[in-house]
Every structure is written in structure tokens, then in C-alpha cells.
Amino acid sequence: MYLGLDLGTSEIKAVVIDDQGRLLASAGEPLEVSRPHPHHAEQDPQEWWQATQRVISSLRSKLPQRWSEVSAIGLSGQMHGAVLLSREGRVLRPAILWNDTRSAAECAQLTQSAPQLHQVAGNLAMPGFTAPKLLWVARHEPEIFEQTATVLLPKDYLRWMMSGEKVSDMSDAAGTLWLDVAKRDWSDNLLAACGLTRDHMPRLAEGSDVSATLKNDIARAWGLRDDVVIAGGGGDNAASAVGIGAVDPGDAFISLGTSGVLFAVNDRFRPNPQSAVHAFCHALPDRWHQMSVMLTAASALRWYCNLVGSNETTLLAEITQLNPSQQRQAPLFLPYLSGERTPHNDPYATGAFHGMTHTTDRAALGYAVLEGVAFGMADGRDVMQQAGTQLQQCSLVGGGARSDRWAQLMSDALNLPVVTHSGGEAGGALGAARLGWLAAGGDFRDVCRKPPVAQHFYPDAQTRDMLAERLKTWRQLYQQQVDLRNA
């Protein structure tokens, strides 16, 4: 059996699959984000480890007779976070997360000091990436920067706790702005621009290769053999791609998690940073991918539910009852609760409802939230097309994949067929388990096959046209926000 661990922002998820690819068990533990100041988003790495222990215990209780058959572990996780370790392996400060936008000034500094950045890293300097975070620490917490011996990404901190090895994979490392993405190796020049060297970095492995072995004491505590291998793993979206079988050029998917992602597989490095499209390594050798990213997706729905004292199941049922006229008259929602990446690269963008009246109810605002996220995806689709990527169909994964209403709205807004898959909500955890399977010797075509399609969603012509009109106004609202800020 193969264990997959996915360290998300709001939850750590874990699954176990067998050598037929069947999902045998799953578990999850919630995580909280600390926001001590505006634009800050942090988590305590020790809480990740404690949640991992609880998830392992839960899975072990669900598979008591077969648990010892786990022979490999794969890791997936939120990208771009910065875990700073001292020479003694002490965590020096809370991890700065991907959705932390404090380092806007440092992005300008990095762009100026590393003129080769866009060509080598394939991406704009954005506050979400890891490199500007270290420049911020160097400027505002110099005593912490001086003590920093190693910078780890979130999932790689778990690997270090499990194995004692400091390793990252190509897909996650590509999100630091320190990787030469075409060469799949650290860039000495980009590291130097942040006052760092290769000595501060973990060694690199392909996501499907063996990166480490479970430490004996951890293996005993978890009830596993001491020869369990740990795969290189992948950033959450690259791992989700492996889980959904998006491994060949032309494959694509939408992920509706805390953030929202439109992901397309490429056979070569195809950067187009001007439109804030990301170009990263895939978690598999000799593959790359393009990606548009919006910082707030399913987390917008969760935020709204908390605001109005509802839950997602109840709210989605209310939204489903809205007729086309009510949808057409619903307010518009800008989903920029954490700023935005693609296509605006704007850490100062904010969320907003527009067009409320006395008749506006909870369901209409809930619909606006779903629609606003779909419109953000439509923005991503447009700039990926400008970058030369033509999409024919998208799979839908992540927590948002559980909602048929949202899936249909995605199809209508993007004017693309959308499919969901059995187990698609497992996302990165399933992909991580598959990478573990590959590291243990699994055959690529057996491991990475696409899971069965659960449902098809096709664009509805009338709804598509209505959404196209609302999208025009939605885009104008963002531009007005920018104009007001610059006035």
C-alpha cells in the first residue's frame, strides 16, 4: 500500500491506496492560519507535525490488519512557504505562507537586483513566492536571517521530521524563484540576489524518485517497517495533476481549494511571466506546466459561510434554488480577499460585493461568490490562451469539486467541458500516494492513469451568454478599484 500526505493551508489530508490504485482510506485534520498583521499569513510548523501524527493515527485505526503493508510515502503540500531552520534544526519563526502579501517592496528589489529572474525562474516576482519572503526577513528581522541555515518548503519540513533528510522536488522548488526551471537546478545567481547560497537549500529530487527513508523511531511509532521509502513528491497542484492523470501535454484541470488553479501540462519550459502566468516543473521528469493562480477560491465560500452563519451544504442548496432571472440580478463579487496573482499580480486588490439592494438575500450573495471565483478562472483561461495554451476540456478537483452547481458554473463561465472524477476531492493526497507508488517501482502508465469520470458538465448557451455580459462589468469593477487606489 502507498500513503499520500497533502499539507494544505486549511487541512492536512492523507490517503492510502493499494497496488491497484484503489482508495482504501482517507483522513484529515484542520489547520488554522494566523494573521497577526495586515497582509501577514503564518502557521507554526510544529502544528503541521502534530496534525500529521493525528492523521497517521486515524488511518492506522481504519486499516488495522493491513497497515504494515505501507511500503512508500508521497508528499504534497502548499507551495512557496518559508520554514527557516537554524544550524541545530530549530524553527526560527512561524512559517510565512503562500498567501502572505507583506513582501511587495521586496519583489521590486529582487526584480531590480536579478535582471535574469524572469528568463531563469519563468515567473514574475510576486509576494507569494519564497524568495521575496527571505528578503523581507533580511530587512525586518535581520537577527533571524543571520541564524537561518536552511530554508525548507512546507511539505519538505514534514519530510525532514520523518526522515532527517532535507530534500525538495522540482515542482515545489520551481515556486521559490531560486530554481533554474529549464535546467531543473538551483540558480546560484538568483540565490545570491537574496543573500543565500546552495548551502541554504535542500538537495533536489524528481517527484517520482526515492528522496529518503522513514527514520527508525518514526517507523516504530507509526507501526511501519523501517524500509519505507519517501518519494520526492510535489507541490500541491503538480501532485493533484498526478492524482487526476494530468501527465501528458494537453491535459488540464481546475483545482478549487483554498486557492484556485488552472493547470495545463507542457512538454517543455514555456514561460510567459508578463501576464502573471506561472511556468513550473511538473512533479514528473521531463515535464513542465503552465498555471494561472487566484489566491482565493473555495476559501471565499468558507469565509462567506462564516460571515452569515451558514454551512456550505445548506448554502449550496439555497443557491441551487435560484432561477436564471435571480442569477442575472445577483450582485457581483470580487474574490480578492488575499490580493490576486493571475492576471493582475496585485497584492493590494481587495474583495467587494457590488449591486446589493433591499431584495438581496443570502443565496444571491452566495451565488455571487461562486460566480466571482469562476470569473477569476476565466481571467486565467484568457491569459493562458495568450501564452499559447489551448484548452479543450478540464477536470475539476479539490473541495469545490463536490459541488455540481459550481462545476456547471465553471463550465459556463469558461465555455469549456468540465469533468469530475471519483475521488477527485482527494486532490494532492492521491497524487502524493501515486508518487510514492512510482518511487516504490510502480509502472508509470499503471500508476498515472486517469480516474473514472463521475460527471460531465457542458456549457449552457444561454447561461454562457449571460455570464459573458456580467464578466465585462466584473472586470470594470476591478479596474475602478485600481483607478481609485491610484487617484
Segment 149-169 mean pLDDT: 98
**pLDDT > 90 in the chain, percent:** 85
Q: Is 79 annotated as a binding residue?
A: yes
How many other CB atoms are found less than 10 A from the CB of residue 164?
A: 14
Is the pLDDT at 272 greater than 80? The verdict is no
Q: What is the pLDDT of residues 36-93, one digit of tens each?
A: 999 999 999 999 999 999 999 999 999 999 999 999 999 999 999 999 999 999 999 9
| Position 266 confidence tier, pLDDT thresholds 50, 70, 90 | confident
Residues forming the active site: 236
Segment 302-329 mean pLDDT: 96
Residue 149 C-beta-side C-alpha neighbours within 13 Å: 8
Q: What is the pLDDT of residues 372-405, one digit of tens each?
A: 999 999 999 998 888 778 899 999 987 777 889 9
Dihedrals phi, psi of 441, to nearest 5 degrees: 110, 10
0.95 cut: is pTM over it? no
Domains and CATH numbers, the chain: 2-237 (3.30.420.40)
Segment 359-368 mean pLDDT: 97
Is the pLDDT at 297 greater than 80? The verdict is yes
Segment 327-339 mean pLDDT: 96
Q: Is 201 annotated as a binding residue?
A: no
What distance separates the 2 farthest-apart alpha carbons in the chain?
66
> What is residue 177's predicted lDDT score, i.e. its pLDDT?
98
> What is residue 36's predicted lDDT score, i.e. its pLDDT?
94
> What is residue 225's predicted lDDT score, i.e. its pLDDT?
94
Cα–Cα nearest to 261, from 123, 395, 97? 395
Which cell numbers in the block locate residue 212?
Answer: 529518503
Q: What is the pLDDT of residues 167-221, one digit of tens each?
A: 999 999 999 999 999 999 999 999 999 999 999 999 999 999 999 999 999 999 9
Cβ pair 432, 74 in contact under 8 A: yes
> What is residue 425's predicted lDDT score, i.e. its pLDDT?
62
Backbone φ/ψ region at 21: left (φ over 0), alpha (ψ -120 to 50), beta: left
| Position 426 confidence tier, pLDDT thresholds 50, 70, 90 | low
Residue 458, classified by CB atoms within 10 Å of its CB into exposed (0-12), middle (13-18) or buried (19+), is middle
